[in-house]
Chains A and B, each alone.
Chain A
Amino acid sequence: EDQVTQSPEALRLQEGESSSLNCSYTVSGLRGLFWYRQDPGKGPEFLFTLYSAGEEKEKERLKATLTKKESFLHITAPKPEDSATYLCAVHPGSNYKLTFGKGTLLTVNP
């Protein structure tokens, strides 16, 4: 069974304080790993897809990286508007069901 574990469950940062979120996974035949952002009361919003170990993607203050067992979402000099829950999900090789982690609730204080 595919599994995704995200840590920490919650992270509180000061504005400008860089940090990383972790996503560990076990999946049969990874086809892709997704990062989504979710604001309260809304659906997840797509951020990145990573396909193979060693790959990196960047968008504004966010950078996602992938190894064979985990992915990191690095946030550089965060701003209060980056506060959200960040979800990681894996796309297995055999079907189109994404398995999500529980997410990391990020709070950035001004």
Chain B
Amino acid sequence: DTGVSQNPRHKITKRGQNVTFRCDPISEHNRLYWYRQTLGQGPEFLTYFQNEAQLEKSRLLSDRFSAERPKGSFSTLEIQRTEQGDSAMYLCASSSGTGGVEKLFFGSGTQLSVL
């Protein structure tokens, strides 16, 4: 399977706990993106990487959120001290990074529920 892979698919946690999600992009893709989607809304941009460099972060990404992409391969998104408002689908996408207008390939997402 050469698509974008996200794990876990579902995560249920209690308020105040830390959670970490993993994304494995398409192997030859240099750009990796994180988006968040709540019910009835379109995906909202969180952050993106060019190789291992995090180039842009949304104002939505509070200090409790951190993303990494060591060695420019897979990426992790960590949420510390989760709040009920963090409940959402977290989507990862990748693109070729060759420049111009690039279509994004999305994974199936991680559905987070904070109780």
Contacts and interface: CB of A to CB of B under 8 A. Distances in A.
A91 B101 contact: yes
B56 A43 contact: no
Interface stretch (B12-20, B36-44, B70-78, B79-87): B36-44
A96 B53 CA distance: 14
Contact of A100 (B43, B102, B105): B43
B104 interface: yes
A108 interface: no
Given A87-B42, A96-B31, A100-B42, A46 B109 contact: no
A84 to B, nearest CB: 14
Interface residues of B, number: 27
Contact of B106 (A4, A43, A91): A43
Contacts of A31: 100-101
Contacts of A69: none
B56 A97 contact: yes
Interface residues of A, number: 25
Interface of B: 4, 31, 33, 40-45, 48, 55-56, 58, 91, 93, 95, 100-109, 111
27 contacts: A4-B42, A31-B100, A41-B108, A41-B111, A42-B108, A42-B109, A43-B93, A43-B106, A43-B108, A44-B91, A44-B106, A46-B103, A46-B105, A49-B103, A89-B42, A89-B43, A95-B56, A96-B33, A96-B55, A96-B56, A96-B102, A97-B58, A98-B45, A99-B45, A100-B43, A100-B44, A102-B42
